[in-house]
Amino acid sequence: MYSLFASLVEWLAALLEPVFAVSATAAAIVAFTMLVRIAFHPLARAAVRGEKARAKIAPQVAALRKKYAKNPERMQKEILALHTKEKVSPFSGMLPMLVQLPVFFVMYRVFSSAEVGGRVNELLGHRLFAAPLGSRWSDALAHGGVFGAQGLVYVGLFVVLAGVATWSFLRARRNAAHSDVPQLPGGVSEGAGAGLVKWMPLLSFGTLISAMVLPLAAGLYVATTTAWTVAERAWLHRERKEGKREVPVLA
C-alpha cells in the first residue's frame, strides 16, 4: 500500500512538474487529497442528510430526555428506539472523517520512513519551496528560525490552517446559536454535556498543533482536507437551504 501511494504521488508530481517545478510533489499531495475528498463526497452528502433527519426528530429526543431524566438507562433505550424507528443513524456524520484516517496514516508513514517498498524513499527530499516534505517545524527552526527560508513555509501553512480553523469555529458557533439542541460531532445530542459542546468548536484549532509536529507533507494533507471540509459543508448546507427557500408572495 505504501509503495502504491508513493508511486501515485510520484506520477502526479511528474504531471505537475512543468507548472510547479520544485514544489511539484507538494502540489501532487494537494491534488491527491482533493481526489480522495471527491471520491468521498457522497458520504459527506449522506452526513448532511443525516443532520437534517436528526434535526427533524430533535423535539422528540428532547421530550424523551425530559421524560426519562431520572432514568438514564431507559432514556438511552428510548432514544435508540426512536432513531431505529425513524431510520436515523446518530453516527453517520462521523463517516467522512473515519474513512479518511487510513489515507492519513499512509501519508504519514510514507513521509516518516527512510525506505518505502525496500528502496530509499526519495520523496522525503522533495520540497515545498525551501522546506523538505519529510521535515518538521522543529527542523525549520533549526535551519534559520521562524523567518528563515524553511520557517516561512511553515508560517504560510500555519496562516492557512488558522484561517480555516477560524472560519470553522465561527460557523460552528453560529450554527449552535440557532440550534435548540446541542450536538456533539456526528450529531449525537448530549443534554448534560452542553458545556462541553460549547467548547467543541475550539478543537478546529487542533490542526495547528498537528502541523507543528507532523511532517510537512502530512501538514499539507491536513490543511487541504480541512479547507475542503469547511467549504464542502458550507456549500451543502447552502444547497439545502436554497432547496427549502420559498418564492415570496406579494401581498
CA end-to-end distance (rounded Å), the chain: 64
- Helix segments in the chain, DSSP class H: 2-20, 24-39, 41-67, 72-85, 95-98, 101-110, 137-142, 149-177, 194-199, 206-213, 216-244
The pLDDT assigned to 144 comes to: 93
pLDDT per position as a tens digit, 51-99: 788 888 888 988 998 999 888 899 989 888 888 888 887 666 677 778 8
Cell 443525516 identifies what position? 50
Sign of the torsion angle spanned by Cα atoms 156, 157, 159, 160: positive
With b meaning 16 or more CB within 10 Å and e meaning fewer, what string describes 1-34? eeeebbeebeebbeebeeebeebbbbbbbbbbbe
Q: Mean pLDDT, to the nearest integer, of 120-135?
A: 91
N residues, the chain = 251
| Residue 129 confidence (pLDDT) above 70 | yes
| Residue 240 confidence (pLDDT) above 80 | no
